[in-house]
A and B are shown apart, each in its own frame.
Chain A
Amino acid sequence: MKLFKSRGWYKFSKNPLSVLGLLIVSLIVLMAVFANYLTPFPEHAGPFVDIPNKIKSPSSTYFFGTDKIGRDSFSRIIFGYRTSLYLGVIVLCIAVPIGTSLGLVAGYFGGKIDAIIMRITDIFLSIPPLVLALSIMAFLKPTLTNAMIAVSMMWWPWYTRLVYNLTRSIKNEGFVVSARIVGASNFHIIFKEILPNCSASLITKITLDMGFVILIGSSLSFLGLGVQPPTPDLGTMVSQGSKYLPDIWWLSVFPGLAILVIVLGFNLLGDGLKDLFDVEL
C-alpha cells in the first residue's frame, strides 16, 4: 500500500508506542462497530436476564465472567466501547466546530469581538471540567444525550483557545497578506487560508481529546449521572461492580482496565500524531 511507503508513515512508525496506539484504537473501533457479530452474546447488551448463570468467574465461555443477573461481561464491555466512542464522537462533533469557529473569529478580527469571546472562554476554562459537567448534569436528566451536552459545554473553550492562538500567528503570514491584497473576502481567508493550516494541530488535539472525553463520560456514568442501565457503559459497570469488591473482582476490574486501554490507545496515537505533524498544543 502507498500509505505504508510514505514518509509520514516512516516517521510515525519509528516510535513503536505510536503504532501500538494506532493498533489499540483501530482494534477497539472495529470491535465496537461490529460488536453484533464479534461478541459471543450480543443479546446480553440489552435487558437480558439469565439467573442460572449469574456471577460466574472468568472462563472459556465467559471470558470476563458474568454479572449478578447472568450477563456476559466481555460482550457488555465491547458494547460499552460502542457507547464510549459514540459519546466521544458526538461531543467532539459539537465542541470542535463551535470552539474552532469562535477561535477563528476572535483571532482574525481582534478588537472587541476578540475581548468578548476570549473572556467568556476564560470563564469556562477557569471552572474545573468535571465540576462544570456535574453542575450542568444537576439541572438535566441523567441520560446519554444530556451527558453529551454537558461534556460538550466544557470542551469547546479548549478549541477556542488553541485555534485563537494559531489564528493570531497565521494571520500575519505572507500568504494571508497576499490573499488580502489579491482581494479575497474575510470568509475565504478564515476558512480557506487559515483553517487548513490549523488542521494538523486540530487533528492531533481531537485524537488526544477522544481519550479524555471518554474518561470524563465514564466518570459521569460512574457517578450515576451519565448513561443509565441497561445500556452497557464502562463507567456504570465499574460503579455497579465495585459494590461486590473484592470477592467478585471481575465485575469492576475488567471494565476499569477497558477504560484504561482505550484512553491509553488514544493518548499514544495522539502523541504519535503530535510528533508526526510537529505541532505544539
Chain B
Amino acid sequence: MSEPLLKIQNVKKIFKVGFSNVIAVNDVSFNIEKHDSVSIVGESGSGKTTLANLILGIEEPTAGTILYNDKKINFNDKGLRKKIQFVQQNPLSSLNPKKTIYQTLELPLKIHNICPREDVKSKIIELLRYVDLDQSYLERHPYSLSGGQRQRISVARALACEPEIIIFDEPTSALDVLIQLKILNLLAEIKEKLNLTYIFITHDLAVVRNISDKTIVMNKGNIVEMNDTQKVFESPKQEYTKELIRSIPTITDEEEAAKP
C-alpha cells in the first residue's frame, strides 16, 4: 500500500468560549489514501465541520499535526492551498452575487496561473462542461441560477484549482431529492475522470451510502467508528452508529426491518 495522501495525527482543537474550554475535536487520528471517498458523519456539534476547517487550514489545531503528502498544512502556502479545495453547504451564499459566473471561475485560474491568459475562457467552458453546464452560463449572475446550478458552479470553482482533495460540507442538504441524486452521480463521475479524493462532511446517511467507500462516525469530538461504508451499515459496532442508522427515514417496511 502506498503512502497515505492525508495524515491526521492526534489532532485536538479547543475553542475558548468565555472562561470555559470547548473541545471540538479530541485527539483524532486517521489517514486518507489517494482516490478515497471518505464520509465524516455525526450529529450537529460533533466536531465534523471543525475537522474540515482544520484540514483546509482555516483553523489551526491546538495539538497534533495534519500532513498532506508529508507537508504540514499551512493556510498561507499557495501551492498547498490549491491542492485542497472546498465546496460549501449553502449554494445561495457561496457565490458572490455581484460577480458573473465567468468572473467567479476566472479567479482561481488567475491566482494559480492554471493556464495562459488567452486560454482562460476556453478553460472556463471546459470546467462548466465537467459540471454539465454550457457556455450560456458565462455572463449570468448567481441570482438567475437554481440551487442545483449554483452548487455545480461551486464544484466547478473547486475544480478550477486542479485540486487533489475536495472537501464537501453537506453538499446536497440545500437541494431537493432529484437534484441531490444528479449532483452525487456527477461528483462520482468527476472523481473517476480527474482521479480525485473526496471528503464528505454530512449527517445525511443516505448520501454517505451512495457515494463513499469509507465512513468515519464522530460524536462529541471523538471518532466512535471508522470502517468501510458497507461494513458500517451492515454491522455497526457502536451503539451511537446504530442509533444514527436507525434514525434514517425509510419508505418501505423492508427497509425499516433491515435496520440494526
Contact = CB atoms under 8 A, between A and B. Distances in A.
Contacts of B154: 178
A140 interface: no
A183 B57 CA distance: 12
A174 B157 contact: no
Contact of A174 (B58, B81, B88): B88
B252 interface: no
A13 to B, nearest CB: 22
Contacts of A188: 107
A182 B107 contact: yes
A59 B170 CA distance: 75
A178 B111 contact: no
Nearest to B80: A183
Given A174-B88, A178-B157, A197-B98, A184 B93 contact: no
A50 interface: no
B105 to A, nearest CB: 10
B81 A183 contact: yes
Nearest to A196: B98
A86 interface: no
Nearest to A185: B111
Of A175, A179, A185, A193, chain B has the most CB atoms within 10 Å of the CB of A175
A174 B82 contact: no
Given A174-B88, A178-B86, A178-B157, A183 B111 contact: yes
B50 to A, nearest CB: 14
Contacts of A192: 99
B173 interface: no
Given A173-B93, A174-B90, A179 B107 contact: yes
Q: Main SS of the interface on chain A?
A: helix
A196 B107 CA distance: 15
B161 interface: yes
What band does the interface of chain A fall in when counting residues whose beta carbon is under 8 Å from B?
A: 10 to 19
Nearest to B108: A182
B246 interface: no
B154 to A, nearest CB: 7
A177 interface: yes
A1 interface: no
A174 B107 CA distance: 15
B81 A181 contact: yes
Contact of A184 (B86, B92, B95, B107): B107
B93 A182 contact: no
Contacts, number: 58
A183 B112 contact: yes
Interface in A42-93: none
A175 B82 CA distance: 17
Contacts of B161: 182-183
Contact of B96 (A181, A185, A196, A199): A196
Given A178-B86, A178-B154, A183 B94 contact: no
A180 B108 CA distance: 10
B201 interface: no
A183 B108 contact: yes
Contacts of B111: 182-185
Interface in A177-220: 177-185, 188, 192-193, 196-197, 199
Contacts of A181: 56, 58, 81, 85-86
B193 interface: no
B4 to A, nearest CB: 22
A178 B82 contact: no
Given A183-B111, A183-B161, A184-B111, A178 B94 contact: yes
B85 A175 contact: no
Interface in B219-233: none
B78 interface: yes
A238 B66 CA distance: 73
A137 to B, nearest CB: 40
Interface string A152-193: 000000000000000000000111011111111100100011
Interface string B13-29: 00000000000000000
B97 interface: yes
A271 B255 CA distance: 59
Interface string B95-138: 11111000000011001100000000000000000000000000
Contacts of A180: 58
Nearest to A182: B108
Given A181-B86, A182-B157, A183-B81, A174 B94 contact: yes
Rank and list the top 3 A-B pairs by shortest CB-CB distance, nearest first.
Answer: A174-B93, A174-B94, A196-B98
Interface of A: 173-175, 177-185, 188, 192-193, 196-197, 199
Given A178-B88, A179-B107, A196-B99, 19 more contacts: A173-B93, A174-B88, A175-B93, A175-B94, A175-B95, A175-B97, A178-B94, A178-B157, A180-B58, A181-B56, A181-B81, A181-B85, A182-B85, A182-B107, A182-B111, A182-B157, A183-B108, A184-B107, A192-B99
